[in-house]
């Protein structure tokens, strides 16, 4: 075979590969498919009608605030994500905001709009800043606590890694007006303290404990974060019919297999069904790129944390069995409510996964006044 | 201690029988003041008078038998208190320079629990002296004097320990066999909440065994008096963080308990609390009942009454590898007693899962492995249910376990002085 012909496919693969790796201009662009843009230009319309139009265009729903008297507003939105559009309406109305609790997907009177940043389907908001002066005898642990809440649209199912967070979120820069850094974070034993809160179906909360801000400061001009989620580029539904009788059945997902190794009622009591999955890729036959991809993102991180049992969707927690050190061979355990024998178990598995790195920037974050 | 008690009892039998006989007669005297005097004296004599009191409790004279039974009940209670709430231990040591490594030996004759010290510091010196000092206070003094030792959060089983570290210097109160301290003070200033969190700890000598270890209710810590540095009384304003996003509690440590109290921010200008006074309430077993379900296959649906708790065997069936059993506990009260009753020792703290056993035909016991449990309480009742598994090849003759049917409370008072607001 001529050398040129042998090399051509390699060159093509390399070119395609390089094309794949080219950084997109918007770091959140890979998440574009998880949200529908809102485009809207209205003059002096009821804020409530504007919100309804936003929900219609985006396919998202929010519960309206009770006793709200919507104002007349003018907006000009061009292809913006749902959350940005909602926040804009709340700002213009002046008496409305998302419920501060991450568990509520509703608008609330007087809630206002906190410092907010957007990354495609995800909205990040600084929900609270607290000055903490603390003595843990004999040491002091004074700090500034910043809680950040992320909410995402219904079409987005993040991979919860590290569990239970949809990616890592770290503070890369936090400054006061004098240019003093609030880094490094304050490390302490986490008992009897405000906790980060974790994630639920459509939201997650992080808590950052930073160095204490000067007592005279009222604003942090710079708070830069970096969100590093795992991005499920291609997701496949893996279905097991009659799972209680499906022990050992394997399904192929791209370069690896997902086997339902065991699915049975806990024989020692309880109503739960215990299931075990084996995710396996034959590393000796994998193409170098596929092999590298699994080494970078091990198979246990390919499961989307949701399952569907007889059409009923639910969150799922997959526990890694053993040390999970072999990225090509992973055993996962999980439990399902088993009141009735299930007919169909549907799991969602990411065939291809990539790591994203998205800057999340907040400006002029207010901090509470220090007491006298 | 037991030998000494037995000797006193023997001496009373041999030499004080006349007094006991006289008191027995006096207990039936027509004069009420004489009867009361006899009762007081018999209570003073205590355990050595038990056999005489047991004889009197069978008396045909209702007055005598009634009073004897009442005294016996008091003695029983005192015996239970001694069992679970041992006496405070003290240390007396002449002021002087000591080798740290010598302290465990010196304490051995005074405190019936070993003192563990870091071996590598055994050769270090410290200056200390004590006169009938509570053992916890003594240990804190040792730490301060040494400078490189601290009392660890968790006490070893049946012993005391000092570990390497900086002495905490935390506000500490010594109360009988208890050591109560402020572990942490946090002052928070946020848009949603402005106030103080006080994290306190309580630990006890190895001769103390509270039932609610790891399960104190938040109402166990009572702060009753709060003053500023000048002694002016401050209003105790309990506050709780709104939008509290959950707090981590540590319930797993042994021999120690920590909890917190949220207080409203002190008035402007108050930089120090002069006095913080109150108490920590604990519960101890007053009556332990042996719960038994005989022939459990046929006992499903039957109820065993243990004090105010009804315990029902609601399930018992053979499955592969053993037996699955379900137990249901229920305690009820009147709505007006809810505030008190809801804070009593929880049902799940009244027995240990591993003490529930199934006795087989050959006399061996299989221990219950609990698979699931559920707990609930309302203004009228508290319920608890466990589903578990006995790994056994036998049918089983008896399900049994000890259960705390009644409890008594003890409050350890505390007083902290000159505590700085952080």
Q: Are residues B291 and B405 in the same domain?
A: yes
Would B414 be classed as within a structural domain? no
- Predicted confidence at residue A151, as pLDDT, reads 94
Assess whether pLDDT exceeds 90 at residue B372: no
Establish if B387 touches chain A: CB-CB under 8 angstroms: yes
Rg (CA), chain A: 24
CA of A329 to nearest chain B CA: how many angstroms apart?
29
Nearest residue of A to residue B315 by CA position? A269
B248–A193 C-beta distance less than 8 A: yes
Q: Is A246 exposed, middle or buried (0-12, 13-18, 19+ CB in 10 A)?
A: middle
Average pLDDT, chain A: 88
Rounded average pLDDT over B141-159: 95
E-strand ranges in A47-95 read: 72-80
Beta bridge partners of A214: none
Assess whether pLDDT exceeds 60 at residue B93: yes
Which residue is it, tokens 């890729």?
A281
Nearest residue of A to residue B261 by CA position? A192
Look at the domain A123-229+357-366 and name its fold. Answer: Immunoglobulin-like (2.60.40)
Rounded average pLDDT over B210-236: 82
Assess whether pLDDT exceeds 60 at residue B11: no
For the record, the structure tokens of A57 come out as: 């265009």
Which residue has better confidence, B242 or B159? B159
Q: Three-class SS of residue A369? A: coil
- Predicted confidence at residue B383, as pLDDT, reads 96
CA of A320 to nearest chain B CA: how many angstroms apart?
21
Which residue has better confidence, B238 or B223? B223
pLDDT digits (tens, 9 = 90+) for B163-174: 999 999 999 999
Domain range list for chain A: 29-112, 123-229+357-366, 232-355
Rounded average pLDDT over B229-253: 70
Establish if A216 touches chain B: CB-CB under 8 angstroms: no
Assess whether pLDDT exceeds 50 at residue B8: no
Q: Are residues B296 and B402 in the same domain?
A: yes
Establish if A136 touches chain B: CB-CB under 8 angstroms: yes
- Predicted confidence at residue B205, as pLDDT, reads 96
Query: What backbone torsions phi and psi does residue B40 show, to the nearest 5 degrees?
Result: -60, -45
Q: B66 lies in which domain range? A: 2-84
CA nearest neighbour of A362 among A121, A186, A172, A190 = A172
Within 8 A by CB and 6+ apart from B413, the residues are B173, B175, B277, B278, B279
For the record, the structure tokens of A310 come out as: 């007889």
Establish if B190 touches chain A: CB-CB under 8 angstroms: yes
Nearest to A131 among B170, B189, B241 (CB): B189
B249–A194 C-beta distance less than 8 A: no
Residues of B in contact with A135 (CB under 8 A): 184-185, 420, 422
Chosen from B144, B191, B194, B391 to mutate, greatest number of chain A CBs within 10 A: B191
Establish if B251 touches chain A: CB-CB under 8 angstroms: no
Establish if A190 touches chain B: CB-CB under 8 angstroms: yes
Strands B114-116 and B159-161: parallel
DSSP letter assigned to residue A184: S
Cα(A269)–Cα(B323) distance, integer angstroms: 9
Establish if B320 touches chain A: CB-CB under 8 angstroms: yes
- Predicted confidence at residue A197, as pLDDT, reads 72
**Confidence band, pLDDT 50/70/90 cuts, at residue B2:** very low
Would B259 be classed as within a structural domain? yes
B268–A372 C-beta distance less than 8 A: yes
CA of B391 to nearest chain A CA: how many angstroms apart?
9
Domain endpoint, select from B153, B169, B185:
B169
Interface ipTM > 0.90? no
Nearest residue of B to residue A146 by CA position? B190
Establish if B242 touches chain A: CB-CB under 8 angstroms: no
For the record, the structure tokens of A50 come out as: 């504007």
> From the CB of residue B96, how many other CB atoms can be counted at a distance below 10 Å?
9
Nearest to A194 among B245, B265, B319 (CB): B245
Assess whether pLDDT exceeds 50 at residue B244: no
CB A354 within 8 A of CB A232: no
Establish if B188 touches chain A: CB-CB under 8 angstroms: yes
Domain endpoint, select from B121, B150, B169:
B169
pLDDT digits (tens, 9 = 90+) for B270-315: 999 999 999 998 889 988 999 999 999 999 999 999 999 999 999 9
CA of B320 to nearest chain A CA: how many angstroms apart?
7
Which residue has better confidence, A205 or B221? A205
- Predicted confidence at residue A341, as pLDDT, reads 81
Cα(A268)–Cα(B387) distance, integer angstroms: 9
Reported as half-sphere exposure (CB side, CA atoms, 13 A), residue B244 has a value of 12
Cα(B334)–Cα(B380) distance, integer angstroms: 6
- Predicted confidence at residue A1, as pLDDT, reads 42
B243–A128 C-beta distance less than 8 A: yes
CA of B68 to nearest chain A CA: how many angstroms apart?
50
Establish if A164 touches chain B: CB-CB under 8 angstroms: no
Establish if B372 touches chain A: CB-CB under 8 angstroms: yes
pLDDT digits (tens, 9 = 90+) for A237-294: 999 999 988 778 999 999 999 999 988 887 666 678 889 999 999 999 999 999 999 9
B268–A371 C-beta distance less than 8 A: yes
* Long-range pairs of B118-127 with CB within 8 A, sequence gap ≥ 24: B118/B149, B118/B162, B118/B163, B118/B164, B120/B164, B121/B146, B121/B148, B121/B149, B121/B164, B123/B99, B124/B99, B124/B100, B124/B148, B125/B97, B125/B98, B125/B99, B125/B100, B126/B97, B126/B98, B126/B100, B127/B95, B127/B96, B127/B97, B127/B98
CA of A193 to nearest chain B CA: how many angstroms apart?
5
Cα(B362)–Cα(B66) distance, integer angstroms: 45
How many cross-chain Cβ pairs, A to B, lie less than 8 Å apart?
A: 113
Q: Are residues B263 and B328 in the same domain?
A: no
**Confidence band, pLDDT 50/70/90 cuts, at residue B241:** low
- Predicted confidence at residue B403, as pLDDT, reads 96
Q: Are residues B219 and B323 in the same domain?
A: no
> From the CB of residue A33, how many other CB atoms can be counted at a distance below 10 Å?
12
- Predicted confidence at residue B12, as pLDDT, reads 47
Average pLDDT, chain B: 89
**Confidence band, pLDDT 50/70/90 cuts, at residue B221:** confident
Edge-to-edge strand ranges of the sheet holding A312-315: A230-241, A344-355, A303-309, A312-315
Q: Are residues B185 and B264 in the same domain?
A: yes
B191–A191 C-beta distance less than 8 A: no
Residues of A in contact with B192 (CB under 8 A): 128
Cα(A152)–Cα(A231) distance, integer angstroms: 14
Q: Are residues B355 and B383 in the same domain?
A: yes
Residues of B in contact with A369 (CB under 8 A): 189
B321–A267 C-beta distance less than 8 A: yes
Nearest residue of A to residue B388 by CA position? A269
Cα A139 to Cα A136, B25, B263, B422: the distances in Å are: 5, 66, 21, 11
3-state secondary structure chain B: CHHHHHHHHHHHHHHCHHHHHHHHHHCCCCCHHHHHHHHHHHHHHCHHHHHHHHHHHCCCCHHHHHHHHHHHHHHHHHHHHHHHECCCCEEEEEEEEEEHHHHHHHHHCCCCCEEECCHHHCCCEEEEEEEEEEHHHHHHHHHHHHCCEECCCCCCCCEEECEECCCCCCCEEEECCEEEEEEEEEEEEECCCEEEEEEEEEEECCCECCCCCCCCCHHHEEEEEEEECCCCECCCCECCCCCCCCECCCCCCCCEEEEEEEEECCCCCCCEEEEEEEEEEEEEEEEEEEEEEECHHHHCCCEEEECCEEEEEEEEEEECCEEEEEEEEEEECCHHHHHHHCCCCCHHHCCCHHHCEEECCCCCEEEEEEEEEEEEECCCEEEEEEEEEEECCCCCCEEEEEEEEEEEEEEEEEEEEEEECC
Would B417 be classed as within a structural domain? no
Domains A29-112 and A232-355 share a fold: no
CB B225 within 8 A of CB B278: yes
- State the DSSP H helix or E strand holding residue A41, giving kind and residue range, or none if neither: strand A38-46
Establish if B269 touches chain A: CB-CB under 8 angstroms: yes
Residue B69: which CATH number? 1.25.10
B186–A132 C-beta distance less than 8 A: yes
Coarse DSSP helix, strand, coil percentages of chain A, rounded to the nearest 5 percent: 15, 45, 35
Q: Are residues B159 and B235 in the same domain?
A: no
Residues of A in contact with B196 (CB under 8 A): none
Which residue is it, tokens 């804190």?
B140
Chain length of chain B:
422
pLDDT digits (tens, 9 = 90+) for B325-354: 999 999 999 989 988 888 888 898 899 899
Q: Are residues B391 and B315 in the same domain?
A: yes
Domain endpoint, select from B154, B169, B184:
B169
**Confidence band, pLDDT 50/70/90 cuts, at residue B245:** very low
Establish if B55 touches chain A: CB-CB under 8 angstroms: no
Residues of A in contact with B243 (CB under 8 A): 100-101, 128
CA nearest neighbour of B390 among B326, B300, B322, B327 = B322
Nearest to B197 among A192, A196, A269 (CB): A192
CB A346 within 8 A of CB A314: no
pLDDT digits (tens, 9 = 90+) for B47-67: 889 988 999 899 888 888 999
Cis peptide before B387 (omega within 30 of 0): no
CA of A348 to nearest chain B CA: how many angstroms apart?
29
Chosen from B151, B182, B186 to mutate, greatest number of chain A CBs within 10 A: B186
**Confidence band, pLDDT 50/70/90 cuts, at residue B1:** very low
Cα(A347)–Cα(A336) distance, integer angstroms: 12
Query: The CATH number of A29-112 is which of 3.55.50, 1.10.10, 2.40.128, 3.30.720?
Result: 3.55.50
Domain total in chain B: 4
CB A350 within 8 A of CB A256: no
For the record, the structure tokens of A96 come out as: 């409305």
- Predicted confidence at residue A269, as pLDDT, reads 63
Chosen from A269, A273, A274, A371 to mutate, greatest number of chain B CBs within 10 A: A269
Q: Are residues B272 and B308 in the same domain?
A: no
**Full pLDDT tens readout for chain A, 372 residues:** 444 444 444 444 444 444 444 455 789 999 998 999 999 999 999 999 999 999 999 999 999 988 999 999 999 999 999 999 999 999 999 999 998 777 778 899 988 899 999 999 999 999 999 999 999 999 999 999 999 999 999 888 888 888 778 999 999 999 999 999 999 999 998 788 887 777 777 899 999 999 999 999 999 999 999 999 999 999 999 999 999 887 789 999 999 999 999 888 876 666 788 899 999 999 999 999 999 999 988 998 899 888 888 888 877 878 888 888 899 999 999 888 777 788 999 999 999 998 999 999 999 999 999 875
Look at the domain A232-355 and name its fold. Answer: Immunoglobulin-like (2.60.40)
Q: Are residues B364 and B318 in the same domain?
A: yes
Residue B293: which CATH number? 2.60.40
């Amino acid at each position: 075979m001529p050398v040129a012909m042998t090399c051509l496919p390699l060159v093509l693969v390399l070119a395609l590969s390089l094309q794949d790796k080219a950084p997109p201009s918007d770091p959140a662009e890979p998440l574009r498919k998880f949200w529908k843009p809102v485009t809207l230009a209205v003059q002096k319309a009821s804020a409530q009608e504007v919100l309804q139009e936003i929900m219609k265009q985006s396919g998202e729903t929010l519960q309206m605030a009770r006793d709200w008297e919507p104002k007349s507003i003018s907006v000009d939105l061009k292809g913006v994500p749902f959350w940005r559009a909602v926040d804009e309406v709340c700002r213009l109305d002046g008496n409305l905001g998302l419920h501060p609790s991450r568990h509520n997907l509703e608008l609330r009177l007087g809630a206002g709009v906190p410092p907010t940043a957007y990354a495609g389907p995800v909205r990040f908001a600084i929900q609270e800043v607290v000055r903490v002066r603390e003595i843990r005898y004999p040491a002091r642990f004074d700090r500034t606590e910043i809680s950040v809440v992320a909410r995402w649209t219904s079409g987005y199912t993040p991979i919860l890694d590290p569990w239970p967070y949809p990616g890592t979120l770290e503070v890369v820069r936090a400054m006061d007006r004098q240019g003093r850094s609030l880094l490094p974070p304050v490390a302490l034993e986490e008992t009897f303290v405000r906790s980060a809160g974790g994630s639920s179906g459509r939201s997650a909360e992080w808590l950052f404990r930073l160095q204490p801000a000067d007592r005279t400061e009222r604003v942090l001009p710079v708070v830069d974060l970096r969100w590093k989620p795992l991005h499920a580029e291609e997701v496949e539904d893996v279905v097991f019919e009659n799972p209680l009788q499906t022990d050992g059945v394997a399904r192929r997902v791209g370069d690896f297999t997902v086997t339902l190794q065991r699915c049975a009622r806990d024989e020692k009591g309880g109503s739960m069904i215990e299931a075990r999955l084996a995710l396996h890729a034959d590393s000796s036959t994998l193409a170098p790129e596929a092999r590298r991809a699994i080494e970078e993102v091990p198979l246990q991180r390919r499961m989307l944390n949701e399952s569907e049992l007889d059409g009923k969707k639910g969150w799922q927690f997959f526990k890694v069995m053993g040390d999970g050190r072999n990225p090509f061979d992973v055993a996962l355990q999980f439990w399902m409510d088993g009141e009735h024998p299930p007919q169909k178990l549907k799991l969602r598995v990411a065939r291809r996964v990539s790591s994203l790195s998205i800057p999340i920037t907040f400006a002029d974050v207010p901090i509470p006044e220090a007491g006298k | 201690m037991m030998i000494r008690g037995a000797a006193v009892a023997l001496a009373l039998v041999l030499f004080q029988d006349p007094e006991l006989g006289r008191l027995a007669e006096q207990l039936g005297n027509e004069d009420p003041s004489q009867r009361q005097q006899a009762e007081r004296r018999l209570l003073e004599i205590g355990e050595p008078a038990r056999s005489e009191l047991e004889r009197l409790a069978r008396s045909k004279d209702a007055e005598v038998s009634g009073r004897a039974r009442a005294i016996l009940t008091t003695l029983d209670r005192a015996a239970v208190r001694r069992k679970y709430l041992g006496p405070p231990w003290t240390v007396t040591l002449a002021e002087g320079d000591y080798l740290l490594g010598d302290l465990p030996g010196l304490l051995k004759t005074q405190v019936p629990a070993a003192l563990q010290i870091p071996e590598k510091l055994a050769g270090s010196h410290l200056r200390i002296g004590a006169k009938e000092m509570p053992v916890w206070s003594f240990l804190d003094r040792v730490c301060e004097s040494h400078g490189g030792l601290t009392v660890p959060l968790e006490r070893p089983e049946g012993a005391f320990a000092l570990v390497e570290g900086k002495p905490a210097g935390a506000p500490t109160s010594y109360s009988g066999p208890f050591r109560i301290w402020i572990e942490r003070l946090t002052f928070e200033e946020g848009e949603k909440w402005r106030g103080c969190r006080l994290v306190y700890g309580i630990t006890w000598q190895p001769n103390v065994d509270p039932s609610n270890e790891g399960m104190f209710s938040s109402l166990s810590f009572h702060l009753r008096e709060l003053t500023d540095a000048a002694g002016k009384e401050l209003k105790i304003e309990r506050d709780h963080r709104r939008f509290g996003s959950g707090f981590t509690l540590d319930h797993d440590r042994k021999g120690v308990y920590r909890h917190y109290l949220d207080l409203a921010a002190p008035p402007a200008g108050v930089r120090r609390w002069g006095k913080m006074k109150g108490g920590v309430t604990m519960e101890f077993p007053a009556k332990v009942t042996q719960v038994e379900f005989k022939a459990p296959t046929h006992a499903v649906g039957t109820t065993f009454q243990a004090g105010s708790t009804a315990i029902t065997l609601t399930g018992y069936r053979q499955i592969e590898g053993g037996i699955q059993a379900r137990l249901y506990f229920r305690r009820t009260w009147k709505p007006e007693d809810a505030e008190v009753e809801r804070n009593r020792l929880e049902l799940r703290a009244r027995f240990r899962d591993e003490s529930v056993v199934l006795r087989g035909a050959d006399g061996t016991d299989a221990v219950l492995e609990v698979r699931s449990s559920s707990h609930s309480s309302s203004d009228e009742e508290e319920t608890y249910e466990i589903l578990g598994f006995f790994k056994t090849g036998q049918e089983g003759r008896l399900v049994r376990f000890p259960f705390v049917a009644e409890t008594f409370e003890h409050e350890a008072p505390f007083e902290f002085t000159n505590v700085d607001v952080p």
